[in-house]
Amino acid sequence: MAKPTSSSPSQRMLRVGEQVRAAITQVLQRGEVRDSLIEATVISISEVRMSTDLKHATAYVTPLGVKDHGTIIEALNRNAKFIRGRMGSQLRQMKYMPDVRFLDDTSFDNYKKIDDLLRSPEVARDLGAGDGEDK
């Protein structure tokens, strides 16, 4: 079977990524990870990207209400093997249990920067100047 030429994920990668995201979320919600940093923090998992062979999962997380995301990400990566083991009951249909690594999701910061830029006086001035002109 030929490999897809585009770099976009396949439907299977997207579906499995969503299943892995739900499994990680359940493990964290049940409080199965015995780490004081993880237990005391609300963690949002925005996306899980799977490798093409479905053996590696990259989870993009945002710790809510915490300034230093790095310590939470390190704690999650320290407990990644335990979390992987606890996901087994939700993902028993998979041939291989994926290795999980956690990365900080910076997309919300990027959205905020774009929003701030669009609300800046310079952009408002430029948008206001073009309203009355004919093209």
User: Domain coordinates of the chain in residue numbers?
Assistant: 11-105
pTM score, whole prediction: 0.77
Per residue in 108-129, pLDDT (tens digit) is: 778 788 888 888 888 878 777 5
The residue assigned the tokens 């990400």 is 73
**How far is Cα 44 from Cα 8, in angstroms, rounded to an integer?**
24
CATH for the stretch 11-105: 3.30.300.20
Q: What is the pLDDT of residue 2?
A: 52
List beta partners, residue 104: 61
Contact (CB, 8 A) for 55 and 94? no
Q: How many CA atoms lie within 13 A of 113 on its CB side?
A: 5
Question: Which ranges in the chain belong to alpha helices (H)?
Answer: 11-29, 36-39, 69-78, 80-86, 107-118, 121-129
Average pLDDT over residues 69-88: 94
